[in-house]
Structure 1
Amino acid sequence: MKKAILTLLLLTNLNLLFSQEANSAYDEKLAKSLNADERGMKKYVFCLLKSGTNTTATKEETQKLFEGHMANINKLAKEGKLAVAGPFMKNERNYRGIYVFNVETIEEAQALVETDPAIKANLLEAELTPWYCTAALQETVKIHEKIAKNKF
């Protein structure tokens, strides 16, 4: 009986060892291309967009500024500087949306924020903070291109 249990334990441990090796999908080349650290993570800058102080813009001005806002988002995404962007649904906190900048410092993100016409016109206000997340996040834009029927 002891021999049977020992054999079963040995087979279980060998199976575990081989299944872990077979499931290991670490891709060093991909990790390096995404600037991933040993955990597969990297630094970003998270940007919370809130309603700005400009409450006097006309409907036409607002529309034009938000067209520029969307064009800027698309430009930054194509340049690889923007990993994720999107609006919030209606809420009581005046939160409008987020950016996740594919940069390491607040200063770099601030320079990118200043390229947004809606922020320049104070329709939106940006709050920046360093963020640590999976390096794979930057692949989101490429995947999105494959699943979006309609483009902005």
Structure 2
Amino acid sequence: MSRRILQGFDPEALKRRRDELGMTRGDLARAADISVTAVADWENGRRTPQVDSLAQVAAALKCEIGAFVDMGPGDRSLADLRILAGLTQPQLGKITGISTTVISSLERAESGLSEERAEVLARALGVDVAAIVAGYTKARNRAPGEQP
């Protein structure tokens, strides 16, 4: 079950947005229902947030998760698309009716992506089917040992 932002999280962007809104770490922690320590750890780069926690932070800061995750449109894997939607694998599974095990397998391109599943995932993630296929293809064509 993948809940962590493993790559592309930009701690400086989080701090910048919080500062733009004139919020203290405590203000953000209260608004997002997370701990002040978590905010400090994320901003200082000591830890990375979990997807669902970052979704709460983005809502509190009135922006999209993409404001804090640096990844170009052509670089987005299925996991990246899920993260940008602010969903964990179990949450996406619940929305789509696809098991968490299958979602995980699709994100690693270790099982086939049917047209039907691509359409269901595209609707749930708010992207077009081409983005789903491109994300799957990215994972499928990665070098041995490379993270999807």
TM-score between both structures, scaled by the size of structure 2: 0.27
Q: Which has the larger radius of gyration?
A: 1
Q: TM-score w.r.t. structure 1 length? A: 0.26
Q: Which protein is richer in strand relative to its size?
A: 1
Ranked by relative contact order (alpha carbons within 8 Å, sequence separation 6 or more), the top structure is: 1
